[in-house]
Chain A
């Protein structure tokens, strides 16, 4: 039985503390935004989760390429961990965004480039899990997963660009999130503190989660090996 490494235990505690501080900063420390009111406080976690979500997808694409070159299963586990954690964080981003959009834009959803790209990116990574589930051979699963994350990572920015074409011609309530867009605002120094702290906190939480998932992946592999050995 492998026990949890001490460093990971410490990181767990640090993550929790940072999440607590970040919550405090977002909910109490940062000043209330003049126009949108308290609902704007969702912004800090919205950006925090979006940042680690995107970070994870980029990491996954890179890990995929490294796997294809080295054929080392550890990179595959790393890729799965990044995609899995990021998919959850990205889903949280979309939900938080909707909560913010309802009062700020007067709608839960709009087909703005960011929102559409986010939705399609989620679908790509859900397809990724379905693909992996359909393949028994772990080595083939890893190869296909790597190629698919790469395709997904390349097509997402193109999706963003193509949706923007639709939107420049059919203007809707909300343009892209430039400063001029509705719901835009400028940050006061206190807001900025809360904002950057949230980014930092979520990055640490992300690392913690990935570490857990990597450990889980290694244990999973061990169980699979043991099962194979007993059945032989």
Chain B
């Protein structure tokens, strides 16, 4: 493979800029993801009776379930807006490498997910009087989000082209994303409960491996998913 040319980065950044600018003006995606995340946390609060003892063991699970659900919402929407009114066809007509389009979409999706997480974390910390701002946990959240978005962007590009596009993404994404979600939960709860680093290392390694594999695969196969 050739080394990415400057135009590759330009194309990629152009897509990121377009998505961020559109989102900055409408704020429909982020607000939906945020409100949804808070609702999920409220439901968990009562469904699991999050008192001090329970919280210790389930915080990581609650956080990642919230992120995964909100992430699906964002992924679906961000690809659906491209599909509507033929924006995707316009992007495909541009004389750039298909993987630049993939990376552009993935980076803006990742940005949205990180913004949501950056708001959910302090809210959760405040509501439950725990400090979630630990460097280890933040690293896990970054790695987990990268893996989830990397495979999610590819699958969202597929699901918006199906007849049942509103329901298809979670069904396609969740079974494939199980390794990254579970490894993230494991590593997060390790950091939150102050486990030995040697115990956290294994799920961290898995996160990195997952990220690498599921960035490489879309890079190679994205063109097969978007071509008409």
Contacts and interface: CB of A to CB of B under 8 A. Distances in A.
Interface of A: 68, 120, 123-124, 127, 130-131, 133-136, 140, 143-144, 146-148, 150-152, 154-155, 158-159, 161-163, 165-166, 169
Contacts of A154: 213-214, 217
Determine which residue in B154, B164, B176, B225 has the highest number of CB atoms from chain A within 10 A of its CB, and name it. Answer: B176
9 shortest interchain CB distances as A-B pairs: A134-B162, A158-B179, A134-B163, A124-B175, A123-B175, A162-B179, A162-B182, A155-B176, A134-B164
B168 interface: yes
Contacts of B151: 151
Contact of B186 (A136, A148, A158, A162): A162
B161 interface: yes
Nearest to B172: A127
A127 B171 CA distance: 6
Interface residues of B, number: 34
Nearest to B177: A155
5 contacts: A135-B161, A146-B224, A158-B209, A158-B210, A166-B182
Contacts of B217: 150-151, 154
A25 B182 CA distance: 42
A162 B203 contact: yes
Contacts of B163: 133-136
B221 A150 contact: yes
B179 A155 contact: yes
Contacts of A124: 175-176
A127 B159 CA distance: 11
A68 B224 CA distance: 8
A166 B186 contact: yes
Interface string B16-55: 0000000000000000000000000000000000000000
A169 B200 CA distance: 11
A143 B224 contact: yes
B176 A152 contact: yes
B204 to A, nearest CB: 11
Interface in B153-173: 154-155, 158-159, 161-165, 168, 171-172
Nearest to B221: A147
Nearest to A146: B224
B137 interface: no
B158 A131 contact: yes
A70 to B, nearest CB: 13
A224 B152 CA distance: 33
A140 B206 CA distance: 32
B199 to A, nearest CB: 7
A134 B165 CA distance: 8
Contacts of B159: 131
A125 to B, nearest CB: 9
B132 interface: no
A152 B174 CA distance: 11
A159 B225 contact: no
Given A146-B224, A154-B213, A162-B186, A120 B175 contact: yes
A148 B158 contact: yes
B183 interface: yes
Contacts of A148: 158, 172
A176 to B, nearest CB: 15
Contacts of B227: 143
B162 A127 contact: no
B126 interface: no
A162 B185 CA distance: 10
Nearest to B228: A140
A134 to B, nearest CB: 3
A165 B221 contact: no
